[in-house]
């Protein structure tokens, strides 16, 4: 007997149009969303819920169906060319993607799915159609929101397009339930998108505490080829203006300018690949490091597996998260789970994630970041206290706890009276590329 016996939720269709759960987080458009989908799907599957994840095929070599875990499969849908499409191009492929999903379900028995859970606004557009057609609840997780991102743009970065903003408004209006990562995100859904607060549920993401856990710093440094006595600063994430890795590079340059003796003992490791507008100048950060005279202390490392990532976290003295916008900040929790304190921007969900396991910085001024980082690197006792706090804080977040709360939303969605989809949206204002 499974844990889901007696529960109306037996089969869930998850939709992740723009990025596959099979992709390596840290490059392209793969990031925290991928981790969220994989970890919650695996744990739902372990409870006996069948999860089918629909995503866009990005290579001819990908099988139509891939088993991700027991009770969890990934279905690849053909929608547009396999390669060469950026996320910004995908609204024009939503009709093709939705048609592919509908084509599969046409050969399935009636009532095949109990609900649809869509991730990100593009998926919400398809989920809206699928849930309406199948007469099942739509649960939606935004992950990021254009109105939030556009209020905190990095210098020179492009704002999110109006079409996305309209698409998000539609999804908020029609979704039966909206999942927010934090209380801050829940408030933003209500204040910026006029979401019904009764339909918003806060479900914090988690961390894999079995993989991401404290380990010996000296041993990890030896395995990674890092000097045992170095001051190691770590950035993990996609290389794009939104994530602000340039703030770290500039801050380190200021630190060395103020105290030249730091050069010989400072190592900055940047793990990730170009993403978003960062793809337009994929080596801009390397060029900046050279121009600022710190190329000798900055290492660029490609995205790593979770096991390798845990080693990097454990090897670092501090993990730096200077993002301009974060709905939660999964990297912060993952670092803290490995016993490494975090220095993060005071934005979005990062205050919730970090707690007393790190320090929040109120600006993106490299001078201020330089002072904070230098002060912490020179204060072993304070870092030790932060390390203990970080480990304790991370233990408050687990994917099992996330799945418990998500499962409760699913139960409620399936047991509640059906909520009719609102068909009175003002389509006269909606670009045709947005509506599947």
pLDDT in tens, the chain (436 residues): 344 444 589 999 999 998 888 876 655 666 788 889 999 999 999 999 999 999 999 888 889 999 999 999 999 999 988 877 777 888 889 999 999 998 877 777 778 899 999 999 999 999 999 999 889 999 999 999 999 999 888 877 888 899 999 999 999 999 999 999 999 999 999 999 999 999 999 999 999 999 999 999 999 999 999 999 999 999 999 898 989 999 999 999 999 999 999 999 999 999 998 866 556 677 899 999 999 999 999 999 998 988 999 999 999 999 999 999 998 889 999 999 999 999 999 999 999 999 999 999 999 999 999 999 999 999 999 999 999 999 999 999 999 999 999 999 999 999 887 665 544 444 334 433 343 3
Helices (H), 54-120: 94-106
Q: State which fold the 217-396 domain adopts.
A: Rossmann fold (3.40.50)
The predicted structure's pLDDT at residue 157:
82
Q: Is 22 annotated as ligand-binding?
A: no
Q: Is 427 annotated as ligand-binding?
A: no
Q: Is 286 annotated as ligand-binding?
A: no
- Kindly list the domain boundaries of the chain, sorted by start residue: 11-206+400-415, 217-396
Tokens of 368: 């201020």
Q: Is 24 annotated as ligand-binding?
A: yes
The predicted structure's pLDDT at residue 275:
64
Q: Is 424 annotated as ligand-binding?
A: no
Q: Please enumerate in sequence order all residues whose Cβ is within 8 A of that of 338, keeping only pairs 6 or more positions apart, or say none.
A: 212, 213, 214, 215, 310, 313, 314
Q: Identify the H or E element spanning 245.
A: helix 245-258
The predicted structure's pLDDT at residue 52:
96
Tokens of 167: 């698409």
Q: Is 87 annotated as ligand-binding?
A: yes
Class of residue 380 by CB neighbours under 10 A (exposed 0-12, middle 13-18, buried 19+): exposed
Q: Is 334 annotated as ligand-binding?
A: yes
Tokens of 189: 């859904």
Tokens of 5: 């016996």
pLDDT tens digits, 359-389: 999 999 999 999 999 999 999 999 999 999 9
The predicted structure's pLDDT at residue 85:
75
Q: Is the pTM of this model over 0.75?
A: yes
Q: Please enumerate in sequence order all residues whose Cβ is within 8 A of that of 76, keeping only pairs 6 or more positions apart, or say none.
A: 20, 55, 56, 57, 62, 63, 64, 65, 66
Q: Is 318 annotated as ligand-binding?
A: no
Q: Is 29 annotated as ligand-binding?
A: yes
Same fold, 11-206+400-415 and 217-396: yes
Q: Is 308 annotated as ligand-binding?
A: no
Q: Please enumerate in sequence order all residues whose Cβ is within 8 A of that of 57, keeping only pairs 6 or more positions apart, or say none.
A: 76, 77, 78, 79, 82
The predicted structure's pLDDT at residue 82:
82
Q: Is 213 annotated as ligand-binding?
A: no
Q: Is 326 annotated as ligand-binding?
A: yes
Q: Is 144 annotated as ligand-binding?
A: yes
Q: Is 262 annotated as ligand-binding?
A: no
Can you tell me the distance from the alpha carbon of 369 to that of 189, in angstroms, rounded to the nearest whole number? 30
- 200-202 sheet: strands from edge to edge: 65-69, 72-77, 50-56, 11-15, 115-119, 138-141, 177-180, 200-202
Q: Is 263 annotated as ligand-binding?
A: no
CATH for 11-206+400-415 (3.40.50.2000, 3.40.50.300, 1.10.1060.10, 3.40.50.1950): 3.40.50.2000
Q: Is 375 annotated as ligand-binding?
A: no
pLDDT tens digits, 42-97: 999 999 999 999 999 988 888 999 999 999 999 999 998 887 777 788 888 999 99
Q: What is the dihedral of CA 266, 272, 273, 278, to 10 degrees?
A: -70
Helix axes 183-193, 162-174, angle to 10 degrees: 100
Closest by CA position to 35, among listed 54, 51, 20, 53: 20
Residues 6, 52: contact at Cβ < 8 Å?
A: no
Q: Is 405 annotated as ligand-binding?
A: no
Q: Is 304 annotated as ligand-binding?
A: yes
Can you tell me the distance from the alpha carbon of 184 to that of 433, in angstroms, rounded to the nearest whole number? 31
Q: Is 34 annotated as ligand-binding?
A: yes
Q: Is 103 annotated as ligand-binding?
A: no
Supply the DSSP symbol for 55.
Answer: E
Q: Is 165 annotated as ligand-binding?
A: no
The predicted structure's pLDDT at residue 433:
39
């Amino acid at each position: 007997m499974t844990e889901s016996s007696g529960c109306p939720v037996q089969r869930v269709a998850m939709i992740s149009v723009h990025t596959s759960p099979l992709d390596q987080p840290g490059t392209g458009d793969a990031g925290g969303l991928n981790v969220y989908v994989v970890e919650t799907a695996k744990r739902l599957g372990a409870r006996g819920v069948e999860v089918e994840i629909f995503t866009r095929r990005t290579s001819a070599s990908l099988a139509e169906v891939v088993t991700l875990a027991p009770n969890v499969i990934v279905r690849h849908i053909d929608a547009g060319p396999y390669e060469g499409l950026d996320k910004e191009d995908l609204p024009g492929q939503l009709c093709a993607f939705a048609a592919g999903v509908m084509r599969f379900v046409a050969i399935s028995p009636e009532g095949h799915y109990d609900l649809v859970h869509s991730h990100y606004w593009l998926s919400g557009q398809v989920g809206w159609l699928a849930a309406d057609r199948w007469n099942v609840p739509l649960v939606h997780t935004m992950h990021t929101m254009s109105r939030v991102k556009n209020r905190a743009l990095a210098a020179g970065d492009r704002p999110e397009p109006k079409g996305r903003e309209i698409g998000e408004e539609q999804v908020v209006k029609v979704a039966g339930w909206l999942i927010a990562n934090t209380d801050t995100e829940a408030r933003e859904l209500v204040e910026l998108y006029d979401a019904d607060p009764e339909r918003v549920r806060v479900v914090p993401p988690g961390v894999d505490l079995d993989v991401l856990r404290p380990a010996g710093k000296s041993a990890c440094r030896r395995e990674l080829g890092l000097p045992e006595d170095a001051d190691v600063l770590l950035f993990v994430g996609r290389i794009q203006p939104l994530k602000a890795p340039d703030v770290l590079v500039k801050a380190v340059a200021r630190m060395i300018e103020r105290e030249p003796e730091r050069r010989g003992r400072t190592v900055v490791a940047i793990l990730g690949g170009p993403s978003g507008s960062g793809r337009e100048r994929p080596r801009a950060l390397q060029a900046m490091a050279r121009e600022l005279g710190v190329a000798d202390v900055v290492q660029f490392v490609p995205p790593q597996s979770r096991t390798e990532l845990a080693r990097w976290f454990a090897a670092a003295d501090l993990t730096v998260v200077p993002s301009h916008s974060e709905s939660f900040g999964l990297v912060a929790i993952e670092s803290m789970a490995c016993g490494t304190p975090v220095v993060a921007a005071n934005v979005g969900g990062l205050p919730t994630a970090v707690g007393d396991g790190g320090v929040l910085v109120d600006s993106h001024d490299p001078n201020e970041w330089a002072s904070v980082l230098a002060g912490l690197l020179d204060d072993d006792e304070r870092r030790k206290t932060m390390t203990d706090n970080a480990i304790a804080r991370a233990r408050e977040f687990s994917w099992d706890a996330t799945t418990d709360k998500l499962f409760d939303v699913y139960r409620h969605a399936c047991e509640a009276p059906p909520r009719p989809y609102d068909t009175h949206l003002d389509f006269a204002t909606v670009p045709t590329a947005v509506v599947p």
